[in-house]
Amino acid sequence: MNRAYDVIVVGAGILGASTAYHLKCNGVRRVALFERRRPAAGGTGKSAAIVRQHYSTALLARLTKESIGMFTTMPDQIGADSGYVGSGWVFLVPDIIIEAARTNVTDLQSCGVETRFLDDDEIAVRLPWLNPQDVAGVVYEPHGGYADPVRTTEAYVKGFCDLGGELRINTPVRALLRKGDAVIGILTDDGPIEAGNVVNAAGPWSKFLTEDAGIEMDLRSIREQDTVWEARGDRPIPEISISNGVDAIYLRPLGQRRFVVGRGYPKDYFDVDPYNYKETADEAFVSDVQARLEHRFPPFAGARRIDSYAALYDVTPDWYPYIGPRKGLQGYYDACGGSGHGFKIGPAIGRHLALWISENVVDEDFARLSYDRVVTGKMFVGAYGGNRA
């Protein structure tokens, strides 16, 4: 079997598409991107795509900051638009974590992130649509916002193809080919295909590929629901992305007074089979979100429900992605486990992972994302506890 490619990337979500594009930017000659359906057809395409740098580790804050720059320069770099809107982002902070939030804001400022707490007068002026009851503080990030997850992913795929990459859509990868301590290619319905390196960016389906090849993968597939609402009337409504920690919901504008609204932490998480799960939202979930939305944001009283659906999160034990090679295993790289954070950090991750693969150059901090942290027990711990990254 002759080696067909230098690198095969499995999965054309944001992580796979960005990695494939940046591999070509780095001069890797033979790169193929395999996707079982179409680009952004999995969790990426249904991402709320809220972009914020408010993380409790410098690593994720830095990656998001880098990604924001990549979102905004994409038209010049690739000739396609990510749909990024730098509307700003706010975090409504409950009393129980107010001190942790203050500490985190200070830490982020020391990392170069422009973020601060709004004072009471600013809250009244900037957020006239807010019911401030039980809100202990409001964190404001002027350079946050939102993007279009499908347009962003398709832009990277376009850039990849323009640079000579080979896109194989509607081509499921059935297995990884392993020989001893090396992954040497993939198996498709058309037969085996050899490669010098394989990047597993298959999202919730990544675990099936590794299990069949005898590679450990601690990864959950979780059903995540979202709704879309249209505010009626002409009362002022948010024009920014919002993480509402008080009522555990998030929302971001879609235009025409429409918003994506979903549930945030804390909530129950349910593991599902990614090949067979309910893709419509539960009515109880929709009613719960509506009640929380109308309570915190009065202009949404009587809002019209436009859509509701379910997608998948691929979730790691510490809610940080698996990125990079494995110790003792050649020719294999993880690029999965986005855990709800994958979209906003995906562009930067693809850039750094491509450099790791093509030049064996990696920052020590970024290298911590390797799956090897699970083996050594050196997991990430967020400032807010639980799965708040």
CATH assignment at residue 307: 3.30.9.10
Residue in the structure block whose two tokens are 């410098």: 58
Residue 388 belongs to a domain: no
Please check whether residues 174 and 323 belong to one and the same domain: yes
**Together in a domain, 161 and 290:** no
Residue 131 lies in a domain: yes
Is the domain of 163 the same as that of 256? Answer: no
Residue 134 shares a structural domain with residue 100: yes
Whether 304 and 334 share a structural domain? no
Residue type, 169: I
Q: Are residues 230 and 307 in the same domain?
A: yes
At which of 269, 298, 315 does a domain end?
Answer: 315
**HSE (side-chain half, CA atoms, 13 Å) at 177:** 15
Q: Which two tokens stand for residue 181?
A: 């301590």
Same domain, 203 and 115: no
Phi then psi for residue 369, to 5 deg, are -75, -10
How confident is the model at residue 381, as a pLDDT?
Answer: 85
Q: How far, CA to CA in Å, does 218 sit from each of 76, 227, 266, 374, 385?
A: 39, 29, 22, 8, 20
The answer to whether residue 65 sits within a structural domain is no
259 and 343 co-located in one domain: no
- The whole-angstrom separation of Cα 159 and Cα 82 is 12
163 lies in some domain = yes
CATH of the domain at 345: 3.50.50.60
Residue-by-residue pLDDT tens, the chain, 389 positions: 456 999 999 999 999 999 999 999 999 999 999 999 999 999 999 999 999 999 999 999 999 999 999 999 999 999 999 999 999 999 999 999 999 999 999 999 999 999 999 999 999 999 999 999 999 999 999 999 999 999 999 999 999 999 999 999 999 999 999 999 999 999 999 999 999 999 999 999 999 999 999 999 999 999 999 999 999 999 999 999 999 999 999 999 999 999 999 999 889 999 999 999 999 999 999 999 999 999 999 999 999 999 999 999 999 999 999 999 999 999 999 999 999 999 999 999 999 999 999 999 999 999 999 999 999 999 998 766 544 56
- Same domain for 192 and 329? yes
Question: Burial of 119 by CB count in 10 Å (0-12 exposed, 13-18 middle, 19+ buried)?
Answer: exposed
- Domain span at residue 11 reads 3-49+150-218+318-376
Query: In the listed set 280, 315, 350, which residue is the last one of a domain according to the structure?
Result: 315
Tell me: do 180 and 308 sit in the same domain.
no
Residues 240 and 306 in one domain: yes
Asked whether residue 7 is domain-assigned, the answer is yes
pTM over 0.85: yes
How many domains does the chain fold into?
2
Phi/psi for 60 (5° steps) reads -70, -35
Q: Please check whether residue 190 lies inside any domain of the structure.
A: yes
Tell me the CA distances in angstroms from 319 to 38, 273, 381, 385, 388, one per residue in order. 26, 19, 9, 11, 8
SS3 124: helix
Distance CA 121, CA 126 (A): 9
Q: Has residue 61 been placed in a domain?
A: no
Which residues is 221 bridged to in the sheet?
Answer: 314
User: Per the domain annotation, does 24 fall within a domain?
Assistant: yes
Are 131 and 225 in a shared domain?
A: yes
